[in-house]
Amino acid sequence: MIEVQGLTKKYGPVEAVKGVSFTVGQDQVLGFLGPNGAGKTTIMKILTGYHYPTEGTAKIDGIPVQEDPVEVKKRIGYLPESVPLYGDLTVTEYLGFIARARLIRAEDRKRAIEESIAACGLEQVRRKRIETLSKGFKQRAGLAQAIIHDPPILILDEPTTGLDPNQIIEIRALIKGLGKRKTVILSTHILQEVEAVCSQVLIINAGSIAAQGKPEEIAGTLKGGDTWELVLKTPDTPASSAAASIGEKLKSLGAGGELSQLNAVALDDGTVKASFFLGGDTGGGPGAGNGAGEAIFDWAVSRGFKILMMNRKKLSLEDIFVKLTSDTEGAGAADGGRKS
């Protein structure tokens, strides 16, 4: 449905997008995740035909955007970051205007307006002037203009920015519903948004793709490690002395991974609660993953500890995002899909 190959965009000396390649299949919701200035909007503007790439190609339904931008625009609904609304029009008047601009035939216009009002839950405000609407309803009006011509593809640039928590939940539900019958690209820097709405994620950093795939696939391929949480019954008394020396003891774990972020406290019931990060391969290589779990178990038994609770926390999308977008060593470490 969407094919991007070797896309590069330079604004004078600024290389905003650097050789990016990805594809999006039908009825997928792809989350574009990246920090400010990563290049998300630039890619979206190229896909929607508002900018030309400096190099590379972008195809929508097999049509190169540079060659036939009008045909491409017919297939795309676009909600830019700042929604171009006309405040002095009512919702119905505004959608009527967009329907004419979209060259929807006169006999089909009423139906198109009614369908987009219904899909975006705008019935109660349809006769109100847009400037009097809440931000959430303005955003719904923006979504309604994006879908009025029933495009198979929706491109939404940070659609929940500035909304209150209830409005965010409503708009996300709306997008998720639309994603069942349309291909959606959604740009955001809100991690929960990706987890709530997207089937695929593409993490973009400084103009390049840092990771791509399903959130759990990316976690599986990142060379990182796991955070472990243990509650131990200790033979030592008081338990605080066991907590104080547990770091030293853990170093002899023999799990092969590097131990960091250790935190151990004695609890009131005489047990010790410890958490630590064990670097290694989360994919279950010899140094970590299941191998580490076994090593921790053996270590505890050999020291006379009884494990009352043991929990392995996989990397969350948030951990991955921070790792990929904050250190250059981490960037490019994941290849849960295509890299460019």
Closest separation in Å from C-beta 149 to ligand ATP: 25
Closest separation in Å from C-beta 146 to ligand ATP: 18
Q: Does 34 bind ligand ATP (CB under 6 A)?
A: yes
| Member of 2, 20, 42, 295 binding ligand ATP (CB under 6 A) | 42
| Contact present, 287 and 256 (Cβ < 8 Å) | yes
Q: For residues 37 and 238, which CB has a smaller minimum distance to ligand ATP in the complex?
A: 37
Q: For residues 54 and 92, which CB has a smaller minimum distance to ligand ATP in the complex?
A: 54
| Member of 4, 31, 41, 200 binding ligand ATP (CB under 6 A) | 41
Which part of the chain contacts ligand ATP (CB under 6 A), choosing from 32-40, 65-73, 141-149, 222-230?
32-40
Residues 127-146 that bind ligand ATP (CB under 6 A): none
Residues 186-225 that bind ligand ATP (CB under 6 A): 189
Q: For residues 80 and 224, which CB has a smaller minimum distance to ligand ATP in the complex?
A: 80
CA-nearest of 272, 305, 291 to 226 is 291
* Number of residues located near ligand ATP, criterion CB under 6 A: 12
**CA gap 100, 42 in Å, rounded:** 28
Which part of the chain contacts ligand ATP (CB under 6 A), choosing from 31-39, 249-257, 273-281, 282-290?
31-39
DSSP state of 153: E
Alpha-helical runs (H) found in the chain? 40-47, 69-75, 91-101, 106-119, 135-147, 165-178, 191-197, 215-221, 239-251, 289-302, 317-326
Residues 10-29 that bind ligand ATP (CB under 6 A): 11, 14, 16
CA-nearest of 186, 165, 164 to 175 is 186
| Contact present, 292 and 280 (Cβ < 8 Å) | yes
The tokens for 10 are 């330079």
Residues 162-191 that bind ligand ATP (CB under 6 A): 189
- Helix or strand holding residue 183 (H, E): strand 183-188
**CA gap 80, 146 in Å, rounded:** 9
- Chain residues in the site for ligand ATP (CB under 6 A): 11, 14, 16, 34, 36-42, 189
